[in-house]
Structures are given as structure tokens and as C-alpha cells.
């Protein structure tokens, strides 16, 4: 077992909304030294460097990863996650990659292979798994406190304006080749991760994906699906960014003894008269600061991949769910798991050429 005595040398790729969070998180850790930041936008790279005290790099990612780094955080547009992770792995740099892991299953598999071949730690940015409320839901299910699970429902209702897409660098959002999808892979992906983490292995999925209110983009904004889990549970899934009214998120797990429903940041419990109240319904504890990052750091310092709570194999599951929906929309049929992902995307609207194609 290897223990680091000196500080871990970290780099950050991408100074967008999540990049700003990561600078704050990394600077809060006493055992981390931020030494390099990278962004293709020079103004953003300089600002990140000023906030972090690190050196900055713009269009030379290869030079950035040569800075004797122990680990990097990748917070770039989705289509860059796989190539940037693989190149970092080939330089023996540990990677914490933001969600989503990638945009196809092949990319996920390539990332996992690169991490294994180069013996680096790979963690995927699903921080909700560290939230006490979801941990309690998982513990209650695994302990049988809800009885036999027969129904799992997710309703994700949000809104995104046209400006949200226009403000993305080189218009990477709303395009299949750069975002890799719409509401599924961007806004709802955290709850897709929780849906399958709490529900368990999936047997099959039948889905419909549409563009209902965002005709200026290629990707879906409204999705409905019926999911069958291997444990016999039935799933009802809805996610959309078409609601500029009546917004909300609800994730419900229903068993023969009790139910747990997470609704708009509050956890609700109902039970049959025969069910006994237990510790799972107690008061929720406040999370530690940045537990996901702490988990990643610990795995590096102790040189132990098994410490990582959301590794590449776990991060891949949400992409398989999303790709299953797209394959169902394309074929008009129920799709069985494991998903045979051919890497294609459904045709929902007109094709838009992205500015990234000119770079």
C-alpha cells in the first residue's frame, strides 16, 4: 500500500460552470496542490489560473498533461471526455471525469480499458451517490425494509431556454456529435444514475424520445420510457426540459412493506400497518464537504482502486441506459440489456453543423 506524504499535484481541464466548482473544491483540500489549468478560451484559462494560483494552458492539452501531475479533473464538453481521459491514462495520470462519462458505450469501454492498462484511478462525477438521503434509500432497499420492490418511478421536469444553448462554447450543446444527447445525457443524467443504482440491473427498456419545444436543436427534450428490472420491478421514467412551469423532480421506490419518495429535495416515507419503523427513516445527516473528491483522493493516496465509489464500470451504466433509449427510439422496439450500441443517434430534427467541426 502506498501513502502520499506530500501534496497531490492536481490539474483542471475546462473552466465552465463545473470547472468553477472544482477550483473551489480542490483549493479546500489541504492535501492538494493545484498546479495547472487548461481551457481553449484564453480569458477563461487566465481567470482559472488567477483563482487557483496555477499555471494556465489554452490549446495545448498535450503540454498540460506533461506537468508532472498526479491527477486531473475533466470538466469539458461531453465529446472530449473520452479522448482526454485516455491521453491522461497513457501518461499515468489519475482522472476524475465529470458526468456524463462519455457519449457512447464504445467510448466508455475505451476509457475503462485505458485506465486498467495504465493502472490509474478513474472516477466518474456522480456526486449524488454520496448524499445521505440517497444512501438511506439504498440501504433501506438492500436491507429489505421496503419489502419486495415492485415499482420505481422517476419524473424529471425542468426547463432550458434557447440562450442556454447559444451561450455554450462553439455551440456544443444541443448537437449529437458534441453533447451526445439532450435532457438525458445532460440535465437528467444524475437521476438516471440514481434510478438504475437504486433499481438494480435492467432487463429491457421501451422508449420514445422527442423534440417538443426546442426545435432549434438536434437532440431530445422530452422522453418517456417503460423499464423492466431483473428483480421483477417495473419502472416508469419521464425526463424533459420542456416545463417552464410546474417544474420538479420526483424519484419513488415502492415495495410491499413501504415506499420512499424523494420529491424536490425532501425524502418522504409511507408504510403499511404491518411494517416497523426503523433507523432508515431517521434524521438526515449533513454531508462532508466534497465527499466525492475526498473519495477519489483517498483512492490515490492509498493506491486502492476498490475505494472508488463510482468507477468507470459504474459510470458506464447511465450511458447504457441512455443508449438503450436511443436504440429503442430508432428501432421502435423494446431493447434488451446489455445494449448493443451501434453508436448511431436518432433523427429527431434537422442537422446543425457545430463550430467545433471547423477547429
User: Which is nearest to 200 in space by CA: 159, 221, 230, 174?
Assistant: 230
d(CA 116, CA 102) in angstroms, rounded, equals: 17
Report pLDDT for 284. Answer: 45
User: Which is nearest to 209 in space by CA: 322, 113, 116?
Assistant: 322
Query: Could you give all domains of the chain from N- to C-terminal order, each with its CATH number?
Result: 8-127+290-311 (3.40.50.720), 129-280+317-336 (3.30.360.10)
DSSP, residue by residue, 11-31? EEE--SHHHHHHHHHHHT-TT
**Given CA atoms 291, 296, 301, 305 in this order, what sign does their dihedral have?**
positive
d(CA 41, CA 261) in angstroms, rounded, equals: 42
Stretch (H or E) spanning 261? strand 258-263
Using the structure block, give the residue that is written with the C-alpha cell 424536490: 264
Q: Which residues pair with 57 in a beta bridge?
A: 38
d(CA 271, CA 267) in angstroms, rounded, equals: 14
d(CA 48, CA 280) in angstroms, rounded, equals: 42
Q: How far is CA 296 from the centre of its chain?
A: 15
- pLDDT 10s digit of each residue in the chain, 359 long? 455 558 999 999 999 989 999 999 999 999 999 999 999 999 999 999 999 999 999 988 999 999 999 999 999 999 999 999 999 999 999 999 999 999 999 999 999 999 999 999 999 999 999 999 999 999 999 999 999 999 999 999 999 999 999 888 888 999 999 999 999 999 999 999 999 999 999 999 999 999 999 999 999 999 999 999 999 999 999 999 999 999 999 999 999 999 999 998 899 988 765 555 555 554 445 556 799 999 999 999 999 999 999 999 999 999 999 999 999 999 999 999 999 999 999 999 766 655 555 55
**Given CA atoms 103, 106, 108, 114 in this order, what sign does their dihedral have?**
negative
Report pLDDT for 270. Answer: 86
CB 250 within 8 A of CB 263: yes
Q: Which residues contact 276 (CB under 8 A, 6 or more apart)?
A: none
Alpha helices in the chain (DSSP H): 17-27, 42-52, 61-64, 81-90, 105-117, 132-142, 162-166, 189-199, 291-301, 312-331
CB 13 within 8 A of CB 72: yes
Terminus-to-terminus CA distance in the chain, angstroms?
44
Amino acid at each position: 500500500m502506498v501513502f502520499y506524504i506530500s501534496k497531490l499535484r492536481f490539474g483542471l481541464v475546462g473552466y465552465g460552470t463545473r470547472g468553477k466548482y472544482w477550483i473551489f473544491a480542490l483549493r479546500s483540500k489541504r492535501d492538494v496542490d493545484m498546479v495547472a489549468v487548461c481551457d481553449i478560451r484564453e480569458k477563461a484559462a487566465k481567470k482559472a489560473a488567477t483563482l487557483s494560483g496555477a499555471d494556465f494552458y489554452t490549446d495545448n492539452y498535450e503540454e498540460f498533461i506533461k506537468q508532472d501531475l498526479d491527477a486531473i479533473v475533466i470538466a469539458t464538453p461531453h465529446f472530449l471526455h473520452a479522448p482526454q481521459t485516455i491521453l491522461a491514462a497513457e501518461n499515468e495520470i489519475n482522472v476524475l471525469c465529470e458526468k456524463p462519462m462519455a457519449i457512447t458505450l464504445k467510448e466508455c469501454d475505451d476509457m475503462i480499458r485505458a485506465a486498467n492498462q495504465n493502472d490509474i484511478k478513474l472516477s466518474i462525477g456522480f456526486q449524488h451517490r454520496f448524499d445521505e438521503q440517497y444512501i438511506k434509500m439504498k440501504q433501506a432497499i438492500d436491507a429489505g425494509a421496503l419489502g419486495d420492490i415492485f415499482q420505481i418511478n422517476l419524473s424529471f421536469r425542468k426547463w432550458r431556454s434557447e440562450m442556454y444553448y447559444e451561450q455554450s462554447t462553439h455551440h456544443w450543446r444541443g448537437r449529437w456529435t458534441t453533447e451526445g444527447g439532450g435532457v438525458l445525457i445532460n440535465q437528467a443524467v444524475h437521476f438516471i444514475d440514481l434510478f438504475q443504482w437504486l433499481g438494480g440491473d435492467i432487463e429491457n427498456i421501451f422508449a420514445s424520445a422527442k423534440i417538443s419545444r426546442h426545435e432549434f436543436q438536434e437532440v431530445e427534450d422530452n422522453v418517456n420510457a417503460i423499464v423492466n428490472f431483473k428483480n421483477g420491478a417495473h419502472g416508469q421514467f419521464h425526463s424533459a426540459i420542456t416545463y417552464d412551469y410546474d417544474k420538479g423532480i420526483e424519484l419513488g421506490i415502492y415495495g410491499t412493506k413501504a415506499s420512499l419518495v424523494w420529491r424536490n429535495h425532501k425524502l418522504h416515507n409511507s408504510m403499511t400497518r404491518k411494517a416497523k419503523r426503523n433507523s432508515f427513516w431517521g434524521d438526515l445527516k449533513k454531508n462532508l464537504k466534497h465527499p466525492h473528491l475526498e473519495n477519489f483522493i483517498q483512492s490515490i493516496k492509498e493506491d486502492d482502486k476498490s475505494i472508488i465509489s463510482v468507477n468507470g464500470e459504474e459510470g458506464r451504466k447511465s450511458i447504457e441506459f441512455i443508449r438503450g433509449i436511443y436504440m429503442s427510439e430508432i428501432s421502435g422496439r423494446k431493447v434488451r440489456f446489455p445494449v448493443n450500441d451501434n453508436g448511431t443517434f436518432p433523427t429527431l430534427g434537422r442537422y446543425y453543423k457545430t463550430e467545433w467541426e471547423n477547429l
